[in-house]
Structure 1
Amino acid sequence: MKAKRLAALALTVLMMLSLLTLPAAAVSFTDMTDHWAKEDVEYLATQGIVKGTSSTTFSPDRKMTACEALLFCSRATGVSATDKAKIAEDWAEELKTLLPEEMYSWAAEEMAVCLETGILSRTELKAMADSGSLAKAITRETLSMYLVRAMQLEPLARGLSSYSMNFEDASSISQALQPYVYLLNMYGIVQGNQSNQFMPQGSLTRAEMATMLRRAIDFMDDRGIYAELPAYTTYDWVGGTIAAVSAGTNGVTLLTLESNLSGTRSVSLPATVAVYENNMLSTTSALKVGQYARVNLNSSGTAESVRLGGVLTTYNGTPTSVTADNITLSVEGSVKSLDIDRFTEVQVGKTVGGPELIDPQSGYTSAVCQVDSQGHLSTLQLSGGTRAAGGILTAVESTSGGQSLQVCAFNGETQRYTLPTGAGVTINGVAGTLTSSNVGDYVSLRVSNESTGQLASIAVDTVTQYVQGSVKSFTYSRTVNEITLSDLATGKSTTYDIDPNAVIRYNGQNIVLEKLEKNAFVTLQISSGKAVLVDSYPSSTTTEGVIDSITYGTPTILAVRTAGDSVVTFELDLTALPTIYRNGKASSIDQLRSGDQVVVTVRYNTVTTLETTPQSANVTGTITRVVQDTSGITIDVTLTDGTSASYSVADGVSVTQDGTAVSLYNLKPNDQVAMVVSGESVVSIEVTQGTSTGSQLTGTVLVANNNDKTLMLQLENGTVLTADVSGAQFIGADGSSVYLSKLVAGDRVQLFGSYSGAKFVATLVLKL
């Protein structure tokens, strides 16, 4: 770590040579001859960490102002010159409002480092600037707090419960600052005077500050301490509470981490891994079950370091303010503010990711925060509220509870939403009513985080003109550039002029026009007859995940749960189904099951291919009891190992027998089942052997599978099942002959036959 710091300081020295009159290897000051701090001052000056008051003098006995002390502290952090420049740029505008004008030119860069590394907060800097204390002498006890923060040891100071000191004037040290003084004294960075006094309210000289600074830097180098800056790092990481630690071969340590958001993960730690406890280098012996750990990974995915965060503390509250970098919440009547960074795992609704998921406009109703002993927000779970979505309205239909909308986003994905009766609707900013006349208009949506596809509000823009289609051709490097779109619905082509100042984007990134791809899906914003926005995406996209549910109807909705636990829906037209594969072989939609692994390929808004792989059953047994209530079905199962378990099975879960769909509500005691269970959720059920009973069915044809001799039906109660019609006779209501191959989606039929377990075997099919 020392090499890292010296490399960073070398860059700093190069930037500061104009301020020194001597080469960096031989800095000396005329007023330091025979001074007790000569060695420390001139060493730090050589490293570019401290500067003189002139080219030849250091002024060792001059009192340190608070501003000067803070700048000295910033140089202990080990921040590189490159990062320092970036930090200064990022904080520049805010510092112009915080720092006195006369200080900004020479103090802004290092004051930015102070803010970024936590040496002081915005509030503290503003208070100091407003009171004028930045230009006043700093007390020794106050300097102790800033120096401990610079050394990244404040969490350790805050966690101390005992910090007795033997200074003669220890009782004079402010209670709140005693832990900071204690740490510096314990680590040999501050000492008492000849009378063993700390003199907490006394000022300190530049020489004293330099000596303390060198001791602090030497201690940090020895313990491997440096300021880790989340916003200026890019490496991957995984985090969680340590559930198990075991030794592998060749010095490898096997670490099992559990996160209440992302589940359980195992990480192999090589013998060379650096382990940090209290921000100081430790060993793998510090890895204890129950502690939070963040593992930093290199570009190859190998663990480079582990940062321990102690035991997590959980706070449940109501958010009063949420941004991408901070949350303020009310917890049992008190207000708590927590910073969010890229090392914070975030869950919004059912989606897990990072701070990019946070929508400040969402209006979240509750938050669960887990904070480690370092004060870092490790996990943040936000519930309630809404998320933003938008696109071109392509369909509006009235339903019993409101309206059903279809919206095509700019990336070509088509989503269906429910607009409940009473939800807010504005047309060009004025309260209004959504009608089919708004098809083709741009809509901004607020979608519930808790109810898939349900809208809280919709804003319609009827003024701005948008057009969607595929790029047929375009011209560039002309006086007037043009783009020709092929309308996906009609196939007609239209050419538009491109405004010289138009924004051109591909897959979310700004590009030049000549980089636009032919056949890409594109949305144009038209103003005065010219395209002022050309927003394009690949013509073909794929989504990987697990089939969450299949809701049959017009259209049929396929819901896929992705790796991030978000649910994406796709519309399927049963009269023009995509190509379907199951286990690499051609299949049909009636063979799909919730729980199947799936890759969905979409081209120009239309699902073209479904490639599925079924999951293997992980629970088998015999049903002993079936209870039906408003939430679905609860089944009690005697498992093959002799134990019993109870499972709640929600509507939409695939239930099959002999590979064909049967009704969830036809499950009966004594049915033998093989189930895919994830956590407490039943993903799918296969009836391996069941009881028999006679019956007849009436419903609507969804899929007539002539190859497998089956009919997938939606019964009058909404249940979907697949009937075996391989031995059935087909007749029409008038007695005429009917053929399976002639039945199509939407035909009404009545089936006569019997159940074999939960599977219906028809002997007669009557087309109504």
Structure 2
Amino acid sequence: MFKRSLLWVLMVCLLFQVVIVPCANAETAYDDVKGHWASEQIQFLTERGIYKGNGTRHFYPDKPITRGEALVLANRVFEAVYGPLAAPEQKAYLDYRYPLRKEIEAMTANLQVLLDVQTGFVNEYRPGDKILYYLHLVSQGQLMKTPQKELVDWWVPTQFLQYPLSREEASMIFFHLLAPYKLRTMNAKSQDVASFFAGYQGWKQPSYYPDTASPYAGAIREFHLFNETRLFNPYKNMTRAEFATVLKRLYDFYTEDAAKQFRESQNRQQTAVNMLLTAANYAHQTKNEKWLDAYLSKSAQESIDKIGVPLHDYRVTLTLRKDDTDKNKLWVTAAYVDSKVGKYELEYLLEPDDGNPFGRKVMSINIIHK
């Protein structure tokens, strides 16, 4: 028994290196993916820094993906497309010894801001916390649904995060990651968000698949992450190659969705601008040059440094106006209140640019009232 446990720990350590150590190309980083059916997806994700290579040159495509790795990699896909949106917050219920803990905490922070921006208001509901809560329930042999009595004192240990990820667990994770996009189409109010999640987490929504009562997989069919089959096989563990395929589809959804937002309704454009400015604001706070350059022109970066006020707060209302003489120019104004500088109003000029997923860049920033 001890030898089997030790062997599993050693295997997990080797697989962790695939997530941690930087590399540039899957074919040069790994010697076990060439000719594999998922080699293109693995290479695509590796080139974008989602997989980071390992010292052994093995990817282990047919080995199981672990629960912790799944959370980290899903967040890396999100940040590879949009950039980080918010600072990670330490979670008491997450084992501090887990090597990738900070990236999971980044996932919960990004997901919270995403939900708030897509719904248009600050939510009390915490989707990232719920993901980990339901993984905790699984570790206790319970179903991933609302229990009769909510637990107050709970945590997710390192050992459990290193166990293989089942397809049903993956569907629960991706449901929460994609729920903000489903809610966006509903023009949801605060009470609607609570009832939306309660319906799925209480398993009151029907399951599309006959081999599971869980509604999560059926809820995300529209995003085409999993292959269309009559049965979902919820208890089957996902391999690293299978998960890479799902991650590539998630990446494609994020990029395709962002690219079309400025061709959609006024509300959709407001949401897209809010996401763009939120990502730019966090890049400015953290001095992340990559994402600053993606979202702000050099002139705009110089302007915000001179103005001396916070760049953006996603909780404000944005006003959009097309330029009278150039249809490619979009003017955005927003009124802010900051505890240090008081009230002020900023005006942003956005123009087409292919340097970020939205296809728009902030070219200038002006303060019009302080």
User: Which of the pair is proportionally richer in helix?
Assistant: 2
Per the normalisation by structure 1, the TM-score is: 0.27
User: Which of the pair is proportionally richer in strand?
Assistant: 1
Larger-gyration structure (1/2):
1
Per the normalisation by structure 2, the TM-score is: 0.50
